[in-house]
Structure 1
Amino acid sequence: MQITTCYNCFSKNRSFYAEENGHSLVKCGKCGLLYLKERPDDTEISQAHKQGKHSGLVELDVTGQFTDSKVPNYLKVLKDIYQYDFRNNVKWLDIGCGHGEFMTALQHYATGTIIVTGSEPNVQKQQSARKRGLDVSYFDIETHTGTYDVISLLNVYSHLPNPLKFIESLKRCLNKDGEIIIETGDTADLQAKHHYRPFYLPDHLSFASEKIVTDILVRLGFKIISINKYPYPNSQRFQSRCIFVKELMKAVLPHRDTKFTGIFRSYLNQKLWSKTDMYIRARLIQP
């Protein structure tokens, strides 16, 4: 295990935030970043990403499968982000593309020629995406020689040991007026009792906020074009009043098992989660 400090402001001042799966999450006393007090070393993280398995008191398997419902959701996000500003004839790299849901949405959304390449360390996810005819492989971005008009990182930021360093390495892979799209949670400012669970530690290494991510991008020479926020995906299951009422009835009836307490707590937190899934579009400023 490797002892860590805040990658954003480099402060060593931190306080306990939460614990899960044998790992401690701490909060930076200066900028508010949430990060693992001790994390696996880079080799272990790389191996875990390839296998889709992360060690703790309980082993996490995060391989999953292609989720059809994600495609229309991503189409809506693309419309919100670009509106009438989507460029044609672009080369696009989707880092951590998973099973390829976002790549599929891009192909549906583009009206002109778009060349979409995906980079994914998990071998099973690679195979899943290729079965759908997608161009997916895995390469080290720090030594990669290709260049692109847009690079996207969806649900990748929190898995990076050092997002600042990683984003810096992407700059040389961007063409003139190249853009980056980052999707991650805006949750670092939430109190621990209000933060959605589980944290999926140690798969997730940190949790940021809008200010932290935008400050990093500006510091690295990017101009923020837009920020779009949506409900945290898992909170959507609590938006059904039917589930809420059903569990409430169980709670008042004798001898009925109910999840009402947990659902009620999540129902109350729903407003806090309503704008926590964040998409940031930024353009690299030419020197």
Structure 2
Amino acid sequence: MSAVGLEVVPCPYCGSRTNTVWATELGFTTARCTDCDFLFLNPRPSDADRSTATQMGVHMAADGLDISERYMPSKTQRYIPILREQFGSQFAKSGPISWVDIGAGYGETMDAVSSVAPAGSTVIGVEPMHPKASAARARGLQIYEQPLGPGIPVCDYASLIDVFSHINDFDGFLQNVRLLLKDGGEFFMETGHLDGRVPRDDFPGVLGSPDHVSFATDRHVKGFLERNGFEVLSVRLDPIDGWMFTIKNVIKKAMGRDVRVQRPFASRYRTMFVRARKLAN
């Protein structure tokens, strides 16, 4: 990591420069803001280095740059019932809609949206990583290979699935989401719910340093959304450490992987789904 520039930053949520060490992983420190309990990598890779890594189509790792993901149809099957629960009744009463998935990856969420949305709907993905964008495009998906910004058509709905922790400036990001959405349009996101007031051992996995630069609770996400012109409609928190999760970690541990094995449903960590509406200017 010697070639990657690091920068010391204030709390991305409240701006405080007072923090304590919450955890260390692979030589990186996750700090807890002593004023608001937000968790963030500090110091963290600079914006310039993170942008370069993204354009190369790789994730940052402690020993350089790495990409280990692939297209996974099982992700689509996971999100279809979630989207039906969140939007099914609304879609049943509407005509075609437009949806943009930000950080679309290989397009699994796009496939799920297409399965649930009304006939004739338009589903677009935004993915700056070239290998992922190319793979999704090869499957016939409409992908904008760029960061979120000008040139992407405005839409009725936008989603952000497992991307929050990668974003240095979430306030600035949400302002771009506002530009993307029509007035009254909806924003749907999934991320982890991780409370800085609980010990590191309560999180049943690796933190993903330095690729993951921040972790939030529902209070933080609501705060980000509301101060950037959104009305929060719903928050859903789901445990992740069920029996299957535990069995997988036991197998990984036996293979020598650095994972934590706990009894099922012991962790207070949750997957968080948040639905919000853009307020008019």
The one-letter amino acid of 1:134's match is L
Q: How many residues align?
A: 272
When residues 281 and 24 of structure 1 are mapped into structure 2, their CA distance, relative to the original with a 3 A threshold, is: same
Aligned ranges 1:16-27 → 2 under 5 Å: 16-27=21-32
Using the size of structure 2 for normalisation, the TM-score is 0.87
Deviations 1:224-274 (A, max 9, x none): 111122233x7663355x997x99xxxxxxxxx9589x88x633363325x
**Is residue 139 from structure 1 mapped to residue 146 from structure 2 by the alignment?**
yes
**Cα 1:225–1:243 shift into 2, 3 Å:** closer
- SS for the counterpart of 1:272 is coil
Write the deviation string for residues 123-160 of structure 1: whole angstroms up to 9, x where unpaired: 11111111211011223433335211111111111100
Aligned twin of 2:3: none
**SS at 1:271's partner residue?**
coil
Amino acid at match of 1:146: P
Give distance in 1, aligned partners of 2:227 and 2:38: 16
Answer with 136-145 or 109-118: which moved more. 136-145
Alpha-carbon shift at residue 66 of structure 1 (Å): 0.7
Contact 2:243 2:264 in 1 (8 A): no
Where does residue 85 of structure 2 map in the other structure? 80
CA distance in 2, matches of 1:63, 1:228: 29
Structure 2 residue aligned with 1:191, among 181, 194, 199? Answer: 199
Give the CA deviation at 1:14: 0.4
Deviations 1:98-146 (A, max 9, x none): 0000000111112322111111111111111112110112234333352
Measure how far apart 1:88 and its partner are. 3.2
Which of 216, 219, 222 is 1:211 aligned to?
219
Larger radius of gyration: 1
Q: Which of the residues 88, 97, 109 maps onto 2:104? A: 97
Aligned: 1:168 with 2:168? no
- TM-aligned CA deviation for residue 278 of structure 1: 0.9
Unmatched 5+ stretches in structure 2:
1-5
State the distance in 2 between where 1:97 and 1:64 align: 13
Q: Which residue of 2 aligns with 1:9?
A: 14
How big is the alpha-carbon RMSD for the aligned residues of Structure 1 and Structure 2? Answer: 2.6
1:216 Cα deviation after fit = 1.2
Q: Does 1:151 align with 2:143?
A: no
User: TM-score by structure 1 length?
Assistant: 0.86
Separation in 1 of the partners of 2:254 and 2:217? Answer: 34
User: What is the aligned partner in structure 2 of residue 284 from structure 1?
Assistant: 278
